[in-house]
Structure 1
Amino acid sequence: MRIYPVSLGCAKNKADFEKLLALLIKQGAEIVLVPEEATHFWVNTCAFIKPAVEESLEHIFDLGEIKKQGQALIVSGCLTGRYGAEKLKELLPEVDEFYGIEPYQYFAKQEPYERILTENPFYAFLKISEGCNRNCAYCTIPQIRGRLKSKPVDLLLKEAEFLLTLGVKELILVAQDITSYGLDLKPKVDLVNLVKTLSKLPFEFRIRLLYLYPVPNLKRLLEDLLSIPKVVPYFDLPIQHAHPEILKAMRRPNHIESLAETIFYLRTVIPEVAFRTTVMVGFPGEGEKEFEFLCNFLQEIEFDYLGVFPFYPEEGTLAEKLPAKVPYRERLRRRREVLRLQKEISKKRLKLRKGKEEEVLLLGEDEKGRFWGISKAQAPEVDGITYLLLPKGSKLNLTPGELIKGKVKKSTTYDLYVEPIIK
């Protein structure tokens, strides 16, 4: 079996697929990077929102055309989890086999911990749980991936140790809701205890946390996490909105004031801390007043980085049937407006780092011969990057995978430029 792999969607999906690839290679499969060389096409799909479904289908249709040469086409992931294999068999006759989420479970009796890293070899996403208990009005995750199911600590330790042995220098903890990690385990283990346990592994590495649900005791949680030396001062807090009525309609908690206090407090005690968020615009009932409220909140808080997407009335969600829908064109306009605001905010926040010391994880060298990586304030694949400024005639022997300390010399809207500190 020679597999041409295509993995779509989030980091959690990618981590699942990497486990599958490692398992199949152990069973004799070979990974190829050219479709024409493959005996099997394997598409691990995303189906969280409408554009993700469309992207997944586009890849399936494209490979279905090439498949006329005799290859088999396999589909796994969220598309199957959302619509079911039986329904998809009727709609996608070019597909030979369907598997659901966490496709490795169809080929192993227990969850594997070995992986084939498909991106940069010096960071890896460690998925700590599956599913979500939150039931936000717009979200398809519970129907696709089910309720919260935390991974056992022993399994996560094995997987983390395997990744660190490969040379990974940054473990990025991900899940639909990492804040709730361990609530379903017996005996219970919380997120802080898990991170403390992982941090004791005898390697030089950093720990980053993504997708922290904004819970009422957020200040205490972040303080506890920051007390662990290997945790970088960077937190992804997806708020989705700021207006109380929209948050209520979304079935999201209204902890906006306490969240703002927490962010301002942490910035006073740890000036280098960075915050990222995600917001949704155009949710049913969001008029100009509610949208302006959101924009004012974003200008007040000044998140370092931000992602924004328009509301989609996803089939099977509570929000699908809500009245007072915002026209699609207006949703896109509001998205552009938030991005315009955030562009200036990110530029301002990065300027504050000028002259400060940053630790950079070196990830590679670009076509111009510039070494680049990510600082503690940048998550890979979603934020900006950091370029190293090397003095003329420098004889530094730099190797990707190194953690390098340097001083920020300049910044742009999203990127930093750091001069290494030579001791």
Structure 2
Amino acid sequence: MTTLSNTLRIHTISLGCPKNRVDTEVMLGTMLSSIQAVDTPEQADVVLVNTCGFIEPAVQESVQTILETADAIADLNPKPLLVVTGCLVMRYEQELRQELPEVDLFVTIPQQKELPALLKQALHRNIPNERSRALSTSPGYGYLKISEGCDNACRFCTIPSLRGPLRSQPVDTIVNQAKHLLSQGVKELVVIAQDVTAYGKDLGMQHGLETLLERVLPLDGLEWLRLMYLYPAGLTNERLAFLASCGKPLVPYLDIPFQHSHPDILRTMGRPFMHDPLEIVSRIRTHMPDAAIRTTMIVGYPGETNAHFQHLVQTVQAIRFTHMGVFTFFPEEGTPAAAMKGQVDQTVKEDRKTRLMEIQAEISRENLCAYADTLQPVLVDEPCPEWEGLFTGRTWFQAPEVDGVTYVSGPGVEPGKLVQARIHETKTYDLVGLVE
């Protein structure tokens, strides 16, 4: 690898959700002309680990990653500077400083915009502070983060304590970010926030999401726009009618974290929506009959009985979600749910998760069979390392990183291209297509 003179070699590890990935891209963008991305910690002058601290498994993964990275660079001379940032630092900064002396620099989330100055101080090097963004996704898509924080008071969630209240980006700022991503060749914008439906409320906007989409959807070069993290309470008939009227490039894909189906559990969760998800799904299908719906569910929440779980099973079987993720409840320190009575045994939680995912696997397998021998648009992401000439991509109902993929091959297939592929094989979660 050729190293540019006076260039800071940096290796990044971004854990957790796409919102974290955007933070990493923005941090790198603050010093874009001064850095060179390298593939391994051993090649780097700086190793940056952006952590997740949302739930206990994420905390464990973050700590393990820090320890493994510290071990990998411990004997190097000169030793790279180890920098740790993200939600784990926000949640456990003092404990981390005591328990992880291997880390050279802890950076809180508010300090991320000051990273060039912090590195300049630590390394005694001049690092100009810039305003850009270093895209790290596959060339076809990019994440568009429209707000930070959350005003919802879900009793199991640590996000408000880690990220603070809702803070929406101004519309013009988001439009400029979208234009920047599209100028890099991005064809799909994935709109993300902790609650996309709440966008603009803190700015006094009554129809913030609608206003934003009216500005972003007409942008040149945009082929697909996908909405992630839509809270059920925000999916009113008025909003759904608007979304249905948008047409291309808005893909009919709705990511709605229902979390549960039983009103008793939803009430004790403190969810802003406490009705049967069937009502919301019926409303969606009235306005958008062919919409793909993704959701997440939590099993083993305090007080969840067998009857509550069976209600959830029956709801999942009735709705037949396009995609569904299932989490076992974790009593996160500092959340009201952690102190609730009726904590469920871990073995029971795991059994319920397994059962629900088995049901969803069969639903997904049956859903995908309907696409056999159809022509589908596929946005190509990257080469498949196991097979030369085979690529992974996604069709309109597959979001990056969280859903299944479409394996595609044929003439003109390359990363970043939107191609038409004939689906000739369907699997449990994936499709296989050929460009004819």
Answer yes or no: same fold by TM over 0.5: yes
Distance 1:182 1:112, change over 3 A: farther
Residues in 2 aligned to 1:102 and 1:270: alpha-carbon distance in whole angstroms: 42
Distance 1:195 1:328, change over 3 A: same
Query: Does the 8 A contact of 1:214 with 1:255 survive in 2?
Result: no
How many percent identity over aligned positions? 40
Distance 1:365 1:94, change over 3 A: closer
Residue 95 of structure 1 is aligned with which of 94, 100, 103?
Answer: 103
Residues in 2 aligned to 1:112 and 1:176: alpha-carbon distance in whole angstroms: 27
Residue 35 of structure 2 is aligned with which of 18, 29, 32?
Answer: 29
Q: CA deviation at 1:338?
A: 0.8
Cross-structure match for 1:393: none
Distance 1:376 1:55, change over 3 A: same
Q: Aligned with 1:227: secondary structure?
A: helix
Deviation per CA, 1:267-323, whole angstroms, max 9, x where unpaired?
xx543x211000000000011111111011000000011011100000000101001
Q: Please show how residues 161-172 of structure 1 align to structure 2 within 5 Å.
A: 161-172=179-190
Q: CA deviation at 1:18?
A: 0.6
Q: CA deviation at 1:108?
A: 7.5
Residues in 1 aligned to 2:402 and 2:155: alpha-carbon distance in whole angstroms: 25
Q: CA deviation at 1:119?
A: 2.7
| Alignment-mate amino acid for residue 304 of structure 1 | T
Question: Is 1:285 the equivalent of 2:303?
Answer: yes
Q: Aligned with 2:202: secondary structure?
A: coil
Which stretches in structure 2 are left out of the alignment for 5+ residues? Answer: 1-7, 118-128
**What do you get for the CA RMSD once the two structures are aligned?**
2.1
Equivalent pairs, count: 410
Distance 1:108 1:162, change over 3 A: farther
Question: Is 1:2 the equivalent of 2:9?
Answer: yes
Question: Is 1:417 the equivalent of 2:426?
Answer: no
Residue 67 of structure 1 is aligned with which of 55, 69, 74?
Answer: 74
Residues in 2 aligned to 1:55 and 1:365: alpha-carbon distance in whole angstroms: 27
Which stretches in structure 1 are left out of the alignment for 5+ residues? Answer: 391-395
| Alignment-mate amino acid for residue 249 of structure 2 | K
Residue 400 of structure 2 is aligned with which of 380, 388, 395?
Answer: 380
Residues in 2 aligned to 1:112 and 1:290: alpha-carbon distance in whole angstroms: 52
Residues in 2 aligned to 1:186 and 1:262: alpha-carbon distance in whole angstroms: 27
Q: CA deviation at 1:39?
A: 2.1
Q: Aligned with 1:397: secondary structure?
A: coil
| Alignment-mate amino acid for residue 78 of structure 1 | C
198-207 or 216-225, which deviates more: 216-225
8-17 or 88-97, which deviates more: 88-97
Deviation per CA, 1:12-58, whole angstroms, max 9, x where unpaired?
000010111121233x2332212122222211100000010111111
Residue 282 of structure 2 is aligned with which of 261, 278, 285?
Answer: 261
Query: Does the 8 A contact of 1:357 with 1:407 survive in 2?
Result: yes
The TM-score normalised by the length of structure 2 is 0.89
305-314 or 58-67, which deviates more: 58-67
Distance 1:113 1:106, change over 3 A: closer
Q: CA deviation at 1:419?
A: 4.1
Deviation per CA, 1:196-246, whole angstroms, max 9, x where unpaired?
211121114210011000016434323312322210011101100001100
Query: Does the 8 A contact of 1:23 with 1:104 survive in 2?
Result: no
| Alignment-mate amino acid for residue 105 of structure 1 | K
Distance 1:127 1:204, change over 3 A: closer
Residues in 1 aligned to 2:318 and 2:289: alpha-carbon distance in whole angstroms: 19
Q: Please show how residues 203-282 of structure 1 align to structure 2 within 5 Å.
A: 203-215=221-233, 217-228=235-246, 229-252=248-271, 253-256=273-276, 257-266=278-287, 270-271=289-290, 273-282=291-300
Q: Please show how residues 301-380 of structure 1 align to structure 2 within 5 Å.
A: 301-366=319-384, 367-368=386-387, 369-380=389-400
The TM-score normalised by the length of structure 1 is 0.91
Cross-structure match for 2:4: none
Q: CA deviation at 1:68?
A: 4.2
